[in-house]
Homo-oligomer: A and B are copies of this chain.
Amino acid sequence: MPQPQGSKGQDTKKKVTIIEIADAAGVSKSTVSLVLTGRGAVKPETRQHVLETMDRLGYVYNRGAANLRNAQSRIVGLVLNDLSNPFFAEFAIGVEKVLQMAGYVAFMANTAESVVRQEQVMRMMREHGAGGIILCPALDTRPEHLDWVRAAGTALLVAIRRLPDVAVSHVVPENLAGASRITRHLINLGHERIAFLGGMHSMVVRQERHGGFLAAMEATGRNVDPALNLESMPTRDGGFGAMSAVLSLADRPTAVVCYNDVTAIGAMLAAARHGLVVGRDIAIVGFDDTSEARHVSPALTTVAVDPVGLGERAAALLLKQINDPAAEPESFIGPANLVIRESCGAYQRALAAAG
């Protein structure tokens, strides 16, 4: 009895499996599996023939089925809180570099600072058998949000933003010391009234950086004016707004320490709009040393935290943890070094002194 509906060719893409390959190649499914995994000893000609058959029939390996036995796939999840910040793009590049060498691939997802989305994304990654997850936590991530991940035995590493009171590996920059260092640099240049600008109070990173700022101010007997501590979203627009507010003050500061490079660049823009020459009329410094800092004009004095290096470190630590799940959590505090460029005015001062 002939089938009436003449569906021309492969209308319905039937999934081709290892068994069909085996049949077509005239071997057993076990042999095909052997070829696929490259584990056993299979005669070169047989291997070749199987490979050709797979090619001919358009075979797709089903990792899900395979993981049913293995339960360890070579993917790692990278959860980023803000893809539009180039800092995280650079961080991601470092992560990928190391993972790739170890034969892993990183699947990234963006949470856009939403805890709900973060939860959803991490669940997906776990369900797909990710070997581990590197998490740059969204703004108000609570420690208990991570319990379920760790309960299930997925390797987890928190990066960039420390989560206090969570017993999990961390990779973060030396925020306090870095902020202290750059503040001291401004003080050495003779500044008395210095503002701290950008970031939200609730962010741990801001607390650390602001702490470093305060430490340097107090250690040198500087007076800290609460009016010169301004919050803003950690974005260019945030920096622009906060700086505009600062400049409308009666008693302006002569120098500004910004939460990060992005806000610093926003602040520089605001200063320029007010007719100030950054580096001469006012000093503005940032934090992170993203590639933008080098390229902006005047070049931004900042604290280099080497985002790529942090990414590499994070990946390496995670891999270690994947390979030895029993290991204790381990943390890495990345160095934060002063990079003196033009926006702080040090260069101009040196010129003047020489001239």
Contact = CB atoms under 8 A, between A and B. Distances in A.
Interface in A252-311: 265-266, 269, 272, 291, 295, 297
Interface string A15-34: 10000000000000000000
Interface in A51-90: 58, 60-65, 67-68, 71, 73, 75, 83-84, 86, 89-90
A107 B109 contact: yes
Given A63-B64, A96-B110, A83 B89 contact: yes
A242 to B, nearest CB: 15
B89 A105 contact: no
A326 interface: yes
A92 B110 contact: yes
B108 A62 contact: no
Nearest to A65: B68
A325 interface: yes
A268 to B, nearest CB: 8
Given A108-B109, A128-B63, A153-B13, A295 B89 contact: no
A106 interface: yes
A147 to B, nearest CB: 9
Contact of A291 (B58, B67, B68, B236): B236
A152 interface: yes
Contact of A64 (B60, B64, B107): B64
Contact of A60 (B62, B67, B127): B127
A204 to B, nearest CB: 24
A269 B291 contact: no
A55 B298 CA distance: 55
Interface residues of A, number: 53
A68 B68 CA distance: 10
Interface stretch (A42-50, A117-125, A328-336): A117-125
Interface in A234-249: 236
Contacts of A115: none
A177 to B, nearest CB: 28
Nearest to A262: B295
B126 A100 contact: no
Contact of A266 (B11, B110, B120, B295): B295
Interface of A: 11, 13, 15, 58, 60-65, 67-68, 71, 73, 75, 83-84, 86, 89-90, 92-93, 96, 100, 105-110, 112, 117, 120-121, 124, 126-129, 148, 151-153, 236, 265-266, 269, 272, 291, 295, 297, 325-326
17 contacts: A60-B152, A62-B129, A63-B64, A63-B129, A64-B68, A64-B128, A73-B128, A75-B128, A83-B92, A84-B89, A92-B110, A105-B121, A108-B110, A128-B128, A236-B291, A266-B295, A272-B297
The 9 closest A-B pairs by CB, nearest first: A64-B64, A13-B153, A63-B127, A107-B107, A58-B151, A108-B108, A60-B152, A64-B67, A83-B89
